Amino acid sequence: MIRVAIGGKSKALLSHLTSDRPSQDKQSYEQWEQEDLIVFSWLIQNIEPTIAGNLTEYPIAKMLWDALVVTYSSGRDKLQTFNLHVRANDIKQNDSTLEEFWITLEGVWGEIDRINPNPMKCPDDIKTYARIRSEQKLFQFLNALDQKYESIKREILRLEPLPSAEAAYATVRKEAAH
pLDDT for 9: 58
Whether residue 119 has pLDDT greater than 80: yes
- List, for residues 3-34, the tens digit of each pLDDT value: 555 555 566 677 777 778 888 877 788 888 88
Residues 117-140 have a mean pLDDT of 95
Q: Which of 78, 59, 62, 82 minimizes the C-alpha distance to 70?
A: 62
Quick one: pLDDT band at residue 73, thresholds 50, 70, 90? low
Q: Which of 31, 18, 122 minimizes the C-alpha distance to 62?
A: 18
**Inter-residue contact 127 to 161 (CB < 8 Å):** no
Entry pTM: 0.60
pLDDT for 75: 55
Q: What CA–CA distance (Å, rounded) separates 110 from 116?
A: 10
Residues 86-90 have a mean pLDDT of 93
**Inter-residue contact 144 to 170 (CB < 8 Å):** no
pLDDT for 49: 78
Buried b (16+ CB within 10 A) or exposed e, 33-55: eebbebbbebbbeeeeeeeeeeb
pLDDT for 64: 87
Distances in Å between the Cα of 178 and the Cα atoms of 121, 151, 155, 164 are: 44, 14, 16, 22
